[in-house]
Chains A and B, each alone.
Chain A
Amino acid sequence: MIDALTGVLLIPAVAAALLAVLPGYRLTARLNVLAAFLSFVTAVSLFIVEPVSGPYLLVDDLNKVFIVLTTFVGFTTSAFSASYIGHEIEIGRLTPTYVRFYHAMYQVLMFAMNLALVANNIGLMWVAIEMATLTTVLMVGIYRTHEALEAAWKYFILGSVGIALALFGTILVYMAARPVIGEGLYAMVWTVLVTKAAQFDPALLNVAFVFLLLGYGTKVGLAPLHAWLPDAHAEGPTPISAVLSGLLLNVALYALLRFKMILALNPAALAPGPLMVTMGLISCVFAAFMLYRRRDIKRMFAYSSIEHMGIIVFAFGMGGPLANFAALLHMTMHSLTKSAIFYAVGHIAQVKGTQKIADMGGLTVTNPVLGWGLVLGVVAIAGLPPLGIFMSEFLVVSSTFARAPWLVLILVFGILVGLGGLFLRLNTIVFGEPVGPTAPAQASYVPMFAHLAIVAMAGIYMPPALVTGFQNVARLLG
């Protein structure tokens, strides 16, 4: 029996196998888009008919939101990727063999992320996240330049250490669960763990969570474990930067949230909140300052991702229905906006033939659509009203201010510093005298503006169904 749950796994898996053998860029790029679209439709259908969860796979209100977001951005990115890769083939940066490999890997990555999101077994979830890491390492290194290889190596080493620590944490959770639930499969099933969490040995859970936070936190890109992130974003193909920032960081965060929920149910265990709040704040402020000295456009937006993941982790760490709601909204808005920015940046870098900010200029004059698209994206990501990120940042601040005014002041300081850094660089890129090649971009603007339209829309009006949906999830997160 194939239900929607199997569908979101089966479609990318079959597509990956097909893409690995089919020749021809045009056909495979379209097939890639088609598969991503089908996954998205299947994911949406999860809301209509909820499949039954088993000991391995699970669908609940929390992961539905993540799956739909993942498959949606996966779909739009595949559309962007089709035009991006077309250009890369033209200029000979990628050979047909590598393109075939790239497309197959893209679907493997989608499969791994969906699997991590629907996994009910904490061991299976770990395997899926490892698989996602592995595929992105290969994709980051695909250009095979010095920088790309170095970035991939750094990502591989840091990512593997993170993954290893996360596994140790997972084993410790099993050790804590075993005396209560008994040996075997069910001591690793998340839905069972949650019902019995109150009886687990709190000391063991504490140590487990520290390992999980460090392990999955590396993958979320929290400072000081973020070192791989800017390199991986800057050196890989731009569609992969969009997927990394928009999706993979969320998937790692999702894993962390699942464990946070287990810990929150054990009154004797340490509160996971303060740890997450601290790391979130450090990431936000640190990344905001790092924005100022960036010379590479993709690297700059990678730091902006660290900043926003910091804000999201801060809000989830504060907890409570309101802050969780704000965090969920911010995560959604950030995914959409950041991937839209990377779509613009990808085409800009192709037009200019470089990623150096100093070699860009006057984009609003030479390539008005791209230039103003980027301006809109940066205005959104910096959190200016009336766009969606302003809404979500406002909610983060207002929902936590009463509880921890000093912490929120630090957060707002970070956001403002980041805003300054972004606009300083944006000014160089899009205004002033045109610099460098000014050929028109062969771009598909639809994915970018579709994302920005949703973000702009969310700042003004949110459908009540969406609000209630998010509120349910926020309550679930506690």
Chain B
Amino acid sequence: MRGITFDIAHMLAGSLVLVSFMQLYQDRLYALLNIYALHALVLAASVAWQAFIQDAPHLYLTAMIALVFKAIIIPVALHRIIVKLGIHREIETVVGVGPAMLLGMGLVALAMVVMLRVTAEADPLAREDLAFALSVVLLGLLMMVTRRNAVSQVIGFMSLENGLVLAATGAKGMPLVVEISIAFSVLIAFIVIGIFLFRIRERFDTVDVQALDRFRGERQ
């Protein structure tokens, strides 16, 4: 198992975590979007590599979805929404960049400690894949809670989902991976792009979630 194939898989999964970190400190929407596209690209490469070393041709389909849908269509669509709404200004962050990075590092350490300890008997490739995947998931969550803007929350969710696809493809021979990745793509495409952003814009002229919070809770 050890050898060049393992190293490449390891490197790709590790890069995904790295790109997740890059997302954390982007304070402009365009830049964030580009980094997300990169995230999806790395994911596509990683999945394709898994398809190759596991000799599982159906995973190429998942890789294609990641490449075409997540790395191209979604960023382009979001880009157009941002232009239309004229919100390419700075992102407000709840937590500053420094604390966010520190928190992120803490989460990655947590993911490593938990997953590596738990999966001591699993094969090393799946094991490290899972640890990386959990890091990406947690970083995505962190991004969702530290951002106020609806678009960046959605990007946080999508990178979280990339982590899940990484985990699913790393689990060798897992059935339904393609179906699950399609289900997720439908979830994202259908709700986020198609309906919510347009509806929110229609009603609020902004996609700042803080504006939504004003209508929150009990109507007095």
Chain A contact residues, CB within 8 Å of chain B: 121, 123-124, 126-127, 130-131, 134, 137-138, 141, 144, 146-147, 149-150, 152-153, 156-157, 160-161, 164-165, 167-168, 171-172, 174-175, 178-179, 183-185, 187-188, 201, 203-204, 206-207, 231, 294-296, 299, 356
Enumerate chain A residues within 8 angstroms of B150, measured Cβ to Cβ.
153
Q: Are B173's CB and A295's CB within 8 A?
A: no
Q: Which of B114, B117, B121, B176 lies in contact with A124, CB distance below 8 A?
A: B176
- Given A138-B195, A149-B212, A160-B187, is A168 in contact with B167 using a C-beta cutoff of 8 Å? yes
Q: Are B171's CB and A204's CB within 8 A?
A: no
Enumerate chain B residues within 8 angstroms of A147, measured Cβ to Cβ.
215, 219
Instruction: Return the chain B residue nearest A355 by Cβ.
Output: B219
* Docked pose: A280 CA to B37 CA in angstroms: 41
Enumerate chain B residues within 8 angstroms of A156, measured Cβ to Cβ.
191, 196
* Docked pose: A134 CA to B144 CA in angstroms: 19
- Given A134-B190, A161-B160, is A356 in contact with B219 using a C-beta cutoff of 8 Å? yes
**B34-91 residues at the A interface, CB under 8 angstroms:** none
Q: Are A295's CB and B218's CB within 8 A?
A: yes
Enumerate chain B residues within 8 angstroms of A174, measured Cβ to Cβ.
171, 174
* Docked pose: A178 CA to B175 CA in angstroms: 11
Q: Are A157's CB and B153's CB within 8 A?
A: yes
- Given A167-B180, A175-B122, is A123 in contact with B172 using a C-beta cutoff of 8 Å? no
Q: Which of A131, A201, A207 lies in contact with B114, CB distance below 8 A?
A: A207
* Docked pose: A2 CA to B24 CA in angstroms: 52
Enumerate chain B residues within 8 angstroms of A296, measured Cβ to Cβ.
218-219
Nearest first, the 5 A-B pairs at minimum CB distance are A183-B173, A123-B176, A146-B215, A203-B118, A150-B212
B119 on the A face (CB < 8 A):
yes
Q: Are B173's CB and A137's CB within 8 A?
A: no
* Docked pose: A206 CA to B119 CA in angstroms: 11
Q: Are B173's CB and A164's CB within 8 A?
A: no
- Given A161-B144, A183-B173, is A206 in contact with B118 using a C-beta cutoff of 8 Å? yes
B199 on the A face (CB < 8 A):
yes
Q: Are A294's CB and B218's CB within 8 A?
A: yes
Q: Are A121's CB and B164's CB within 8 A?
A: no
- Given A127-B183, A296-B218, is A175 in contact with B191 using a C-beta cutoff of 8 Å? no
Count residues of B near A (Cβ-Cβ below 8 Å).
Answer: 51
* Docked pose: A184 CA to B168 CA in angstroms: 12
Q: Which of A134, A141, A168 lies in contact with B187, CB distance below 8 A?
A: A134
* Docked pose: A190 CA to B203 CA in angstroms: 45
- Given A149-B199, A153-B209, A207-B114, is A126 in contact with B180 using a C-beta cutoff of 8 Å? yes
Enumerate chain A residues within 8 angstroms of B175, measured Cβ to Cβ.
121, 123, 184-185, 187-188
* Docked pose: A311 CA to B160 CA in angstroms: 32
Enumerate chain A residues within 8 angstroms of B167, measured Cβ to Cβ.
168, 171
* Docked pose: A279 CA to B201 CA in angstroms: 37
Q: Are B118's CB and A171's CB within 8 A?
A: no
State how many angstroms separate the Cβ of B51 from the closest Cβ of chain A: 15
Q: Which DSSP category, helix, strand, loop or mixed, fits chain B's interface?
A: helix
B130 on the A face (CB < 8 A):
yes
Interface string of B158-201 (1 = CB under 8 A from A): 00110010011001111110011001001100110001100110
Q: Which of B171, B203, B212, B215 lies in contact with A171, CB distance below 8 A?
A: B171
State how many angstroms separate the Cβ of B43 from the closest Cβ of chain A: 15
Instruction: Return the chain B residue nearest A182 by Cβ.
Output: B173
State how many angstroms separate the Cβ of B75 from the closest Cβ of chain A: 19
Interface string of B122-159 (1 = CB under 8 A from A): 10001000100110010001001000001001000100
**B202-220 residues at the A interface, CB under 8 angstroms:** 203-204, 209, 212-213, 215-220
Given contacts A134-B191, A171-B167, A294-B218, 14 further A-B contacts (CB under 8 A): A121-B175, A141-B196, A149-B212, A156-B191, A157-B157, A161-B157, A164-B157, A168-B164, A168-B167, A175-B119, A187-B174, A203-B117, A203-B119, A296-B219
List 27 interface pairs A-B (beta carbons < 8 Å), by A numbering.
Answer: A127-B180, A127-B183, A130-B183, A130-B187, A134-B187, A134-B190, A137-B191, A146-B215, A147-B219, A149-B196, A149-B212, A153-B209, A156-B191, A157-B144, A168-B137, A171-B130, A171-B164, A178-B173, A184-B173, A188-B174, A188-B176, A201-B121, A201-B122, A203-B120, A204-B119, A207-B114, A299-B218
Q: Which of A138, A149, A172, A184 lies in contact with B200, CB distance below 8 A?
A: A149
* Docked pose: A206 CA to B114 CA in angstroms: 11
- Given A134-B187, A156-B191, is A146 in contact with B160 using a C-beta cutoff of 8 Å? no
* Docked pose: A134 CA to B71 CA in angstroms: 23
Enumerate chain B residues within 8 angstroms of A161, measured Cβ to Cβ.
141, 144, 157, 160
Q: Are A295's CB and B179's CB within 8 A?
A: no
Q: Are A204's CB and B134's CB within 8 A?
A: no
Enumerate chain B residues within 8 angstroms of A149, measured Cβ to Cβ.
196, 199-200, 203, 212
Central interface residue in B115, B133, B199, by most chain A CB within 10 Å: B199
Q: Which of A168, A183, A356 lies in contact with B134, CB distance below 8 A?
A: A168
Q: Are B180's CB and A123's CB within 8 A?
A: yes
State how many angstroms separate the Cβ of B126 from the closest Cβ of chain A: 7
Q: Are B168's CB and A171's CB within 8 A?
A: yes
Central interface residue in A150, A153, A172, by most chain B CB within 10 Å: A150
Q: Are A146's CB and B176's CB within 8 A?
A: no
Q: Are A164's CB and B126's CB within 8 A?
A: no
Central interface residue in A123, A141, A356, by most chain B CB within 10 Å: A123
* Docked pose: A124 CA to B190 CA in angstroms: 20
Q: Are A121's CB and B176's CB within 8 A?
A: yes
State how many angstroms separate the Cβ of B72 from the closest Cβ of chain A: 22
Q: Which of B157, B179, B213 lies in contact with A127, CB distance below 8 A?
A: B179
Enumerate chain B residues within 8 angstroms of A172, measured Cβ to Cβ.
130
* Docked pose: A196 CA to B121 CA in angstroms: 18
Enumerate chain A residues within 8 angstroms of B144, measured Cβ to Cβ.
157, 161
Instruction: Return the chain B residue nearest A203 by Cβ.
Output: B118
Q: Are A207's CB and B118's CB within 8 A?
A: yes
Instruction: Return the chain A residue nearest B123 by Cβ.
Output: A179
Instruction: Return the chain A residue nearest B167 by Cβ.
Output: A171
Enumerate chain B residues within 8 angstroms of A152, measured Cβ to Cβ.
196
